[in-house]
């Protein structure tokens, strides 16, 4: 019998919190679904879509009825709430359906930027100094300038030029904005001035580090950050002047250092199958700092991850086939762990 591959994804809805423009990031999942569908057709696989809507019972009923052999998990949240991302994988876990990507534990840990940084720090992996603020308070132990982000959002949601704060008044304004607008604590961390790199990794026991991509900021003034406009608004100055370069122009020792720290972060947070690690190089000391670990990165055609695949001469079809094989191998070796 031919293999049936499921594609599980969250149906985009307008978030109940945040800004209206945040919906752009929500819709991006459909580009990923289309890319995976086309790859499966070219690979000759049968596939079935499993759109995650407001009725959890319906998705469980559909999964049980179609009985996919493996599911490609593209879910990034539930009903506009990205903090529920981990629960889509939990459904597959409890139904004992093999699936691609990281476990609910890893997805949940990385969704909470403070917890993820706690794990990195506990493992001796450099990450900018930080505090989580449920209410505004003086940033004891931190040095300005600082970056203020929502604690549990991804896709650069809630990150703008205003996220870069130079003094106590600006910090108070931005922390209160995040808490009131996004209904969650704010992550406050020291701003690292220097080059930024995306490190995409494939694998489990044996890891493949794809060609490193650099984010080139074509402006002189700080903050040099990949904010929401730089990621999603193609007509904005931030987008136009924030350009990826892959492979990055770096010497062998620096490449080795960045790869080593990215692998350590991947292992520490128990990423699985594939992930992207964002790293910033301190311009003063040359020390690489892990900014974020993305265990469920964007894999749409224009994404940084796919850019690194192309640089490695790995086709998208090969990537899809690879992660399917990871999931099936896992199911065969550990029938109770998918």
Residues 161, 218: Cα–Cα separation, whole Å: 15
> According to the model, what pLDDT value does residue 337 have?
52
Cis bond before residue 247 (omega within 30° of 0):
yes
> According to the model, what pLDDT value does residue 338 have?
54
Question: 159 in helix, strand or coil?
Answer: coil
Distances (CA, A) of 187 to 130, 148, 158, 184, 268: 7, 6, 11, 10, 20
Q: Is 220 exposed, middle or buried (0-12, 13-18, 19+ CB in 10 A)?
A: exposed
- Which single residue is written with the structure tokens 């086939």? 321
> According to the model, what pLDDT value does residue 336 have?
59
Taken in order of first residue, the domains within the chain and their CATH numbers are 4-108+317-333 (3.40.50), 130-190 (3.30.1490), 193-313 (3.30.470.20)
Question: 102 in helix, strand or coil?
Answer: coil
Residues 96, 104: Cα–Cα separation, whole Å: 13
Backbone region of residue 131 per phi and psi (left: phi > 0; alpha: psi in -120 to 50; beta: other values): beta
- pLDDT tens digits for 144-201? 999 999 999 988 888 999 999 999 999 999 999 999 999 999 999 999 999 999 999 9
The Cα diameter of the chain in Å comes to 65
> According to the model, what pLDDT value does residue 161 have?
92
Q: Is 79 exposed, middle or buried (0-12, 13-18, 19+ CB in 10 A)?
A: middle
> According to the model, what pLDDT value does residue 1 have?
55
* pLDDT < 50 regions, the chain: none
Question: 71 in helix, strand or coil?
Answer: strand
Residues 53, 90: Cα–Cα separation, whole Å: 16
Residues 96, 114: Cα–Cα separation, whole Å: 30
Supply 101's token pair. 């990507």
Q: How is the chain split among helix, strand and coil, in percent rounded to 5?
A: 40, 20, 40
Residues 323, 329: Cα–Cα separation, whole Å: 10
pTM of the predicted structure, to 2 decimals: 0.94
Contact 230, 239 (CB under 8 A): yes
Question: 170 in helix, strand or coil?
Answer: helix
Question: 29 in helix, strand or coil?
Answer: helix
Residues 125, 289: Cα–Cα separation, whole Å: 8
Question: Strand pairing partners for 164?
Answer: 147
Give Cα 187 distance to the centre of its chain. Answer: 16
> According to the model, what pLDDT value does residue 23 have?
77
Contact 87, 80 (CB under 8 A): no
Supply 179's token pair. 């808490």
**In which element (H, E) is residue 57 found?**
helix 56-66
Residue-wise over 16-44: b if at least 16 C-beta within 10 A, else e?
Answer: eebeeebbebbebbbebbebbeebbeeee
- pLDDT tens digits for 84-108? 899 999 999 999 999 999 999 999 9
């Amino acid at each position: 019998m031919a293999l049936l591959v499921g594609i599980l994804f969250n149906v985009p809805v307008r978030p109940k919190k945040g800004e209206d423009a945040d919906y752009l990031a929500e819709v991006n999942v459909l580009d990923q679904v289309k890319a995976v569908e086309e790859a499966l057709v070219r690979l000759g696989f049968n596939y079935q879509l499993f759109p995650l809507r407001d009725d959890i019972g319906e998705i469980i009923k559909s999964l049980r009825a179609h009985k996919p052999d493996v599911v490609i998990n593209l879910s990034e949240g539930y009903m506009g709430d990205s903090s529920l991302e981990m629960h889509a994988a939990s459904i597959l876990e409890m139904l004992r359906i093999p699936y691609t990507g990281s476990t609910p534990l890893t997805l949940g840990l990385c969704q909470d930027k403070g917890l993820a940084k706690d794990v990195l720090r506990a493992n001796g992996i450099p990450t900018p100094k930080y505090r989580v603020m449920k209410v505004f308070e003086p940033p004891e132990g931190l040095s300005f300038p600082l970056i203020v982000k929502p604690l549990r959002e991804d896709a650069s949601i809630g990150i703008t030029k205003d996220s870069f704060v130079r003094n106590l008044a600006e910090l108070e304004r931005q922390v209160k904005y995040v808490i009131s607008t996004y209904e969650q604590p704010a992550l406050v961390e020291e701003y690292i001035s220097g080059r930024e790199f995306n490190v995409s990794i494939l694998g489990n026991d044996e890891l493949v580090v794809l060609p490193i991509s650099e984010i080139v900021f074509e402006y002189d003034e700080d903050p040099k950050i990949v904010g929401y406009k730089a990621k999603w608004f193609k007509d904005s100055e931030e987008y136009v002047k924030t350009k990826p370069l892959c492979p990055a122009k770096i010497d062998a020792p620096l490449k080795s250092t960045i790869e080593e720290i990215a692998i350590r972060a991947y292992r520490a947070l128990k990423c699985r199958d594939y992930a992207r690690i964002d790293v910033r190089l301190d311009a003063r000391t040359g020390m690489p700092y892990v900014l974020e670990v993305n265990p469920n990165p964007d894999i749409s055609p224009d994404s940084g991850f796919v850019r690194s695949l192309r640089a490695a001469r790995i086709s998208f079809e090969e990537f899809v086939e690879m992660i399917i094989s990871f999931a099936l191998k896992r199911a065969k070796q550990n029938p109770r762990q998918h």
